C-alpha cells in the first residue's frame, strides 16, 4: 500500500498555486480549440452508490466501443464492470459485472480486442490475475493466469489481430511479469524486469511481429523508463532491459503502442522539480528518439496512448489525485503533434484512457470523476489546426477634405492554409461594406478606425484595424446678424444683414472660393438649414431680403473651396433676430 500511495496519491497543492495553474490551463485550453467534441460527457457507469474508477477502453474492428472499470464498494472491495456502445458513442449497454471476487482494486483492469472482435479483460485481485474473454457472442468464464504473489498491479493485456494475447503486471515486491497465449497455447509466466531493481507500472503492446513491454525501473534513487521486447512466436525470449532514454530525471507511468510498422511509441511523465511533463519517444531502428514534450510543465499523472493507422492519441490527467483539473490530450498525425488541449467537462478526474475508431477519425476518451465513469468522443480527422487568415489592406487617399471618396484594397490579405471567402469592412463612421476592393465616401470629418475582417474557407477570421483622418474646412469666424427695416413710400420690409470674419485655419487646408449662407427658423434643428445665397471669398456680409415681419431666423455661413468642399453646416456663434433689440427701424 505504501507503493500505491506513492504512485496514486499526490500531496495537495496550496489553493493559490492551484488557482494559478487552473488559470494557465484555461488559457491553454482557449488557445488550442483545434478539435470538436461531440456533445457532452456521458456517464456510462451510473452507479451512485459505488465509486467507479480506473476505466480502460478499446475499440473492436467494427468500431464498437468497449469500456471496463472497477466499481469499488468499499476501500478494499470491488469488481470489474463492462459496458459497450455503438461507434458513434451512443447506446451504452447496462454495466455488466465481469468479476465476482469483491477484491478487485483500483488500476488493475484492462481490455483489448483482437481482429475478430473478441474481447480480453484482465484484472487482478489481491492474490491472482484473471482473464475473461468475450467470444462467440458471450462472455466465457474468467481464467486465472497468475497467482501466488501478494498484490498484483497494473495488469495489462494486448491482443494481436489473430487472437494472440500478451499480458503484463507487476507485484508488490517490485517485479514485472509477463505471460502470453500464442496460437492458443499459454506460455509460462516470466519475470521480465531485472531482479534487484525495483520495477513497476508496466504496459505492453503487440504489433505485427514484435511485442514491446515498458515500465519504470529504479536505479540510483530514480525511476527510469525501460523497455523489453520479443517477437510474437511462442515462447520467444524477452530482450534485455534497456532504458528508453538516458537522463537523470525521474519517470513514471510509461505506456507503449506499436504502429503498423512495428515502431514502438512510448509516453511517460518526467518529474522535474515538482511538476511533470508528458514526454514522448519512438523507436528509430536502433534507439529511441529524444523525448518530445507533449504537455506543459505541471502536475500530471497517468498518461495513456493509443495508435491507430499511424496516428497517435495521448491523454493524461492534470491536477491532484481524485480532484484533477481535467483530462488533457495531444494528437499526432504524420508525425506532427497538434498541441495540448483539454477534454471538456473532465474536472475531478483521476485516471483516463484513450482509444480511436478503426479509421482513426474519432478519438474516444474515458475517465473517472467523482465516482463515475465518463465518456466523450472527439472528431479529430485533421490534427492540424486551421490557421486564421491574415488581413491586410491599403487605402488611398490617406486623408482629404470631406466628402472624400476613398478606395480600399485588401488584395494583400491571405490565408496561409486556405482561401479567403469574404472581406468585410467597417469604415468607422457607421458605414460598412464587403469586397476585396471597395470605394467608400466619407460624408463627414473626423478620425475613423477602419476594420477589415477576412474570413477563410474554414470560418476563421482575421482582422486588421487602421485609421483615416478626414479633414474639413472651418466655418468663418464671428458669424453675426442684425435686422433692419427697409421702406418705400407705401411699403416696408425686414432686411437681415449677416456678417462674418475670415477663418485663418482654412489657409492651411485649402483656398476658400466663396461663402455660402444658410438659414433656418429659430428652434429648428441644423438639418433645416437651407441655402439662401453665396458670396465671393472677399465679401464678408450677406443681406437676406426674404424675411417676413414675424419671421425669426438663425443664420450660419460655410466656407467652400474651389473643389466644392464645404465646411460643416453647423450652428453659428449666434446673433440677433429682427424682433430683438438690435432692430433698427428708420421710419416709424
Which residues here bind another protein, judged by CB under 8 A? Answer: 484-493, 495, 543, 545, 586-587
| Cβ at position 515, least distance to another protein in Å | 20
Distance CA 468, CA 471 (A): 10
DSSP reduced 3-state for 359: coil
Task: Rank residues 320 and 492 by Cβ distance to another protein and give the closer one.
Answer: 492
| Cβ at position 547, least distance to another protein in Å | 12
Angle at 55 between CA 73 and CA 269, to 5 degrees: 120
Task: Rank residues 405 and 584 by Cβ distance to another protein and give the closer one.
Answer: 584
Distance CA 445, CA 443 (A): 7
Distance CA 431, CA 11 (A): 59
| Cβ at position 575, least distance to another protein in Å | 18
According to DSSP, the β-strands at 492-501 and 461-471 are unpaired
| Cβ at position 584, least distance to another protein in Å | 8
| Cβ at position 496, least distance to another protein in Å | 11
| Cβ at position 538, least distance to another protein in Å | 21
Task: Rank residues 46 and 546 by Cβ distance to another protein and give the closer one.
Answer: 546
Task: Rank residues 13 and 535 by Cβ distance to another protein and give the closer one.
Answer: 535
Task: Rank residues 162 and 580 by Cβ distance to another protein and give the closer one.
Answer: 580
Task: Rank residues 486 and 571 by Cβ distance to another protein and give the closer one.
Answer: 486
**Cβ atoms of 6 and 336 closer than 8 Å:** no
Task: Rank residues 133 and 496 by Cβ distance to another protein and give the closer one.
Answer: 496
Task: Rank residues 15 and 489 by Cβ distance to another protein and give the closer one.
Answer: 489
Place of cell 455660402: 516
| Cβ at position 484, least distance to another protein in Å | 5
Task: Rank residues 1 and 587 by Cβ distance to another protein and give the closer one.
Answer: 587
Query: Nearest 5°: phi and psi at 508?
Result: -85, -10
Task: Rank residues 521 and 543 by Cβ distance to another protein and give the closer one.
Answer: 543
Distance CA 39, CA 64 (A): 18
The 10 Å CB-count burial string (b at 16+, else e) for 279-302 is bbbbbeeeebeebeebbbebbbbb
4 HSE (CA, 13 A, CB side): 13
| Cβ at position 482, least distance to another protein in Å | 11
Instruction: Give me Rg for the CA atoms of the chain.
Output: 40
Task: Give the torsion through C-alpha atoms of 232, 233, 234, 238, to 10 deg.
Answer: -60
H or E element: which one contains 26?
A: helix 15-31
Query: Nearest 5°: phi and psi at 428?
Result: 85, -10
Query: What are 529-534's contacts with CB under 8 Å, separation 24+?
Result: 529/556, 529/569, 534/560
**Cβ atoms of 128 and 169 closer than 8 Å:** no
| Cβ at position 587, least distance to another protein in Å | 6
Task: Rank residues 85 and 496 by Cβ distance to another protein and give the closer one.
Answer: 496
Distance CA 128, CA 109 (A): 12
Q: Measured between alpha carbons, how far is residue 2 from residues 5, 173, 174, 196, 351 in Å?
A: 5, 11, 12, 19, 19
| Cβ at position 531, least distance to another protein in Å | 21
Q: What number of other Cβ atoms are within 10 A of residue 437's Cβ? A: 11
Chain-centroid distance, C-alpha 254: 27
| Cβ at position 517, least distance to another protein in Å | 17
H or E element: which one contains 3?
A: helix 2-8
Which triple of cell numbers denotes residue 465?
Answer: 484595424
Place of cell 467537462: 345
| Cβ at position 561, least distance to another protein in Å | 30
Task: Rank residues 489 and 527 by Cβ distance to another protein and give the closer one.
Answer: 489
Task: Rank residues 417 and 482 by Cβ distance to another protein and give the closer one.
Answer: 482
| Cβ at position 543, least distance to another protein in Å | 7
Angle at 219 between CA 200 and CA 149, to 5 degrees: 30
Distance CA 452, CA 463 (A): 5
In DSSP terms, 156 is beta-bridged to 168
Task: Rank residues 251 and 578 by Cβ distance to another protein and give the closer one.
Answer: 578
Place of cell 473643389: 563
| Cβ at position 566, least distance to another protein in Å | 28
Amino acid at each position: 500500500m505504501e507503493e500505491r500511495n506513492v504512485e496514486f496519491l499526490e500531496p495537495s497543492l496550496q489553493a493559490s498555486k492551484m488557482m494559478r495553474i487552473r488559470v494557465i490551463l484555461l488559457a491553454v485550453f482557449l488557445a488550442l480549440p483545434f478539435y470538436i467534441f461531440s456533445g457532452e460527457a456521458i456517464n456510462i457507469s451510473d452507479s451512485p452508490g459505488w465509486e467507479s474508477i480506473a476505466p480502460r477502453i478499446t475499440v473492436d474492428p467494427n468500431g464498437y466501443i468497449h469500456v471496463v472499470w472497477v466499481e469499488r464498494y468499499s476501500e478494499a472491495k470491488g469488481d470489474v464492470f463492462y459496458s459497450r456502445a455503438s461507434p458513434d458513442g451512443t447506446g451504452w449497454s447496462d454495466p455488466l459485472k465481469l468479476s465476482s471476487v469483491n477484491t478487485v482494486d483500483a488500476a488493475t483492469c484492462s481490455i483489448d480486442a483482437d481482429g475478430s472482435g473478441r474481447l480480453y479483460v484482465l484484472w487482478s485481485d489481491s492474490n491472482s490475475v484473471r482473464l475473461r474473454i468475450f467470444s462467440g457472442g458471450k462472455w466465457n468464464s474468467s481464467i486465472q493466469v497468475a497467482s501466488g504473489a501478494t498484490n498484483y498491479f497494473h495488469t495489462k493485456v494486448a491482443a494481436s489481430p489473430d487472437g494472440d494475447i500478451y499480458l503484463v503486471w507487476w507485484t508488490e515486491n517490485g517485479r514485472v511479469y509477463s505471460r502470453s497465449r500464442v496460437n492458443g497455447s499459454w506460455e509460462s509466466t516470466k519475470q521480465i524486469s531485472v531482479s534487484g531493481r525495483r520495477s513497476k507500472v508496466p504496459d505492453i503492446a503487440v504489433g505485427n511481429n514484435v511485442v514491446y513491454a515498458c515500465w519504470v525501473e529504479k536505479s540510483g534513487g530514480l525511476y527510469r523508463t525501460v523497455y523489453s521486447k520479443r517477437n510474437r512466436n511462442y515462447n520467444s525470449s524477452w530482450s534485455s532491459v534497456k532504458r528508453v532514454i538516458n537522463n537523470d530525471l525521474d519517470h513514471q507511468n510509461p505506456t507503449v503502442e506499436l504502429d503498423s510498422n512495428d515502431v514502438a511509441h512510448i509516453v511517460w511523465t518526467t518529474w522535474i522539480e515538482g511538476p511533470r511533463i508528458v514526454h514522448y519517444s519512438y523507436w528509430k531502428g536502433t534507439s529511441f528518439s529524444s523525448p518530445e514534450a507533449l504537455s506543459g510543465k505541471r502536475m500530471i499523472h497517468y498518461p495513456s496512448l493509443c495508435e491507430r493507422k499511424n496516428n497517435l492519441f495521448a491523454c493524461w490527467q492534470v491536477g491532484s489525485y481524485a480532484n484533477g483539473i481535467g483530462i488533457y490530450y495531444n494528437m499526432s498525425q504524420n508525425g506532427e503533434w497538434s498541441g495540448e488541449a483539454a477534454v471538456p467537462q473532465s474536472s475531478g478526474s483521476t485516471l483516463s484512457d484513450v482509444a480511436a475508431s478503426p479509421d482513426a477519425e474519432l478519438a474516444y476518451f474515458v475517465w473517472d470523476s467523482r465516482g463515475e465513469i465518463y465518456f466523450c468522443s472527439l472528431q479529430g480527422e485533421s490534427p492540424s489546426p486551421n490557421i486564421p487568415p491574415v488581413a491586410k489592406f491599403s487605402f488611398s487617399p490617406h486623408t482629404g477634405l470631406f466628402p472624400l471618396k476613398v478606395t480600399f484594397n485588401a488584395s494583400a490579405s491571405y490565408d496561409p492554409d486556405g482561401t479567403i471567402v469574404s472581406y468585410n469592412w467597417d469604415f468607422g463612421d457607421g458605414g460598412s461594406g464587403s469586397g476585396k476592393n471597395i470605394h467608400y465616401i466619407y460624408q463627414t470629418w473626423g478620425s475613423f478606425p477602419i476594420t477589415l475582417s477576412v474570413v477563410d474557407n474554414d470560418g476563421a477570421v482575421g482582422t486588421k484595424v487602421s485609421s483615416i483622418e478626414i479633414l474639413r474646412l472651418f466655418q468663418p469666424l464671428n458669424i453675426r446678424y442684425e435686422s433692419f427695416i427697409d421702406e418705400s413710400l407705401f411699403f416696408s420690409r425686414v432686411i437681415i444683414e449677416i456678417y462674418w470674419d475670415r477663418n485663418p485655419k482654412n489657409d492651411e487646408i485649402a483656398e476658400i472660393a466663396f461663402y455660402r449662407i444658410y438659414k433656418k427658423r429659430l428652434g429648428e434643428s441644423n438639418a433645416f438649414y437651407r441655402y439662401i445665397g453665396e458670396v465671393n471669398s472677399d465679401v464678408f456680409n450677406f443681406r437676406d431680403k426674404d424675411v417676413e415681419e414675424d419671421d425669426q431666423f438663425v443664420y450660419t455661413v460655410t466656407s467652400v473651396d474651389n473643389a466644392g468642399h464645404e465646411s460643416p453646416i453647423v450652428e453659428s456663434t449666434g446673433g440677433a433676430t429682427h424682433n430683438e433689440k438690435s432692430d433698427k427701424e428708420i421710419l416709424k
